[in-house]
Amino acid sequence: MRLLPVLALGALVLPLAARANDPNSYAQPDQVVVTHLDLDLKIDFPHKQLDGVATLRLDWKNPKAPALVLDTSALKIASVEAVDANGKTLALKYALAPADKELGSKLTIEAPRHPAQVRIRYVTSPGATGLQWLPPAQTADKKAPFMFSQSESIHARSWVPLQDSPAIRFTYDAHVSAPKNLRVVMSALNDAKHPLDGLFDFSQPHPIPSYLLAIAAGDIAVKETGPRSAVYAEPSVVDGAAREFSDTEKMIATAESLYGPYRWGRYDLLVLPPSFPYGGMENPNMTFATPTIIVGDKSLVSVISHELAHSWSGNLVTAAAWRDIWLNEGFTTYVQGRITEALYGQRQATEEDLLAIRALQKDIGAMPANAQKLAPDPKGLGGDDSLSDVAYSKGSWFLRTLEQKFGRQDFDAWLKGYFDRHAWHSIITEQMLADLKPNLIDKYPGKMSWAEVQDWVYGTGIPKDAPIPDSPQFDAIDKERTAFLAGMLPAAKLDAKGWNTQEWMYFLDRLPDAPKLADMQAIDAAWHLTGTHNAEIGMRWYVHAIAAGDKAVWPAAAEHMTRIGRLYLTLPVYGAFAKTPEGLAYAEQVYAKAKGGYHPLTQQAVEAFFASAKRAHR
- Average pLDDT in the chain: 94
Q: Report yes or no: 21 and 30 within 8 Å, Cβ to Cβ.
A: yes
Say if residue 370 is exposed, middle or buried (CB neighbours under 10 Å; 0-12, 13-18, 19+): middle
- pLDDT of 414-438, one tens digit each? 999 999 999 999 999 999 999 999 9
Q: Identify the residue with better confidence: 1 or 250.
A: 250
CA 212/CA 23 separation, integer angstroms: 19
- pLDDT of 286-340, one tens digit each? 999 999 999 999 999 999 999 999 999 999 999 999 999 999 999 999 999 999 9
The answer to whether residue 194 scores a pLDDT higher than 70 is: yes
Specify the pLDDT at position 6.
Answer: 29
Specify the pLDDT at position 618.
Answer: 84
**Closest residue by Cα to residue 308 from 268, 348, 353:** 268
CA 516/CA 486 separation, integer angstroms: 11
The answer to whether residue 371 scores a pLDDT higher than 70 is: yes
- pLDDT of 399-417, one tens digit each? 999 999 999 999 999 999 9
- pLDDT of 220-232, one tens digit each? 999 999 999 999 9
The ranges of the chain annotated as CATH 1.25.40.320 are 472-617
- pTM, rounded to two decimals: 0.93
Question: pLDDT-derived band of residue 7, with 50, 70 and 90 as boundaries?
Answer: very low
- pLDDT of 488-530, one tens digit each? 999 999 999 999 999 999 999 999 999 999 999 999 999 999 9
Active site residue 307: yes
**54 DSSP 8-state letter:** E
Say if residue 545 is exposed, middle or buried (CB neighbours under 10 Å; 0-12, 13-18, 19+): buried
Backbone angles phi, psi at 119, to 5 degrees: -115, 130
Pairing state between β 229-233 and 221-226: antiparallel
- Which is the catalytic residue, given 244, 307, 329, 352? 307
Specify the pLDDT at position 386.
Answer: 62
The answer to whether residue 439 scores a pLDDT higher than 80 is: yes
* Average pLDDT of the residues in 142-164: 97
The answer to whether residue 120 scores a pLDDT higher than 80 is: yes
* Average pLDDT of the residues in 46-60: 98
The ranges of the chain annotated as CATH 1.10.390.10 are 320-458
Q: Identify the residue with better confidence: 115 or 386.
A: 115
592, 596, 602, 608: CA torsion to nearest 10: 40
Q: Identify the residue with better confidence: 464 or 379.
A: 464
Specify the pLDDT at position 40.
Answer: 98
- Which is the catalytic residue, given 26, 392, 586, 591? 392
Specify the pLDDT at position 16.
Answer: 33
* Average pLDDT of the residues in 551-575: 96
Helix H segments across 345-388?
Answer: 346-363
Question: pLDDT-derived band of residue 379, with 50, 70 and 90 as boundaries?
Answer: confident
Topology of 472-617 in CATH? 1.25.40
* High-pLDDT (> 70) share of the chain, %: 96
Specify the pLDDT at position 12.
Answer: 37
Question: pLDDT-derived band of residue 387, with 50, 70 and 90 as boundaries?
Answer: confident
- The kind and range of the H/E element at 537 are helix 535-547
Say if residue 464 is exposed, middle or buried (CB neighbours under 10 Å; 0-12, 13-18, 19+): exposed
- pLDDT of 8-34, one tens digit each? 333 333 343 444 578 999 999 999 999
Q: Report yes or no: 269 and 228 within 8 Å, Cβ to Cβ.
A: no
CATH class (in words) of the domain with range 320-458: mainly alpha
How far is Cα of residue 178 from the mean position of the Cα atoms in its chain? 27
CA 286/CA 511 separation, integer angstroms: 38
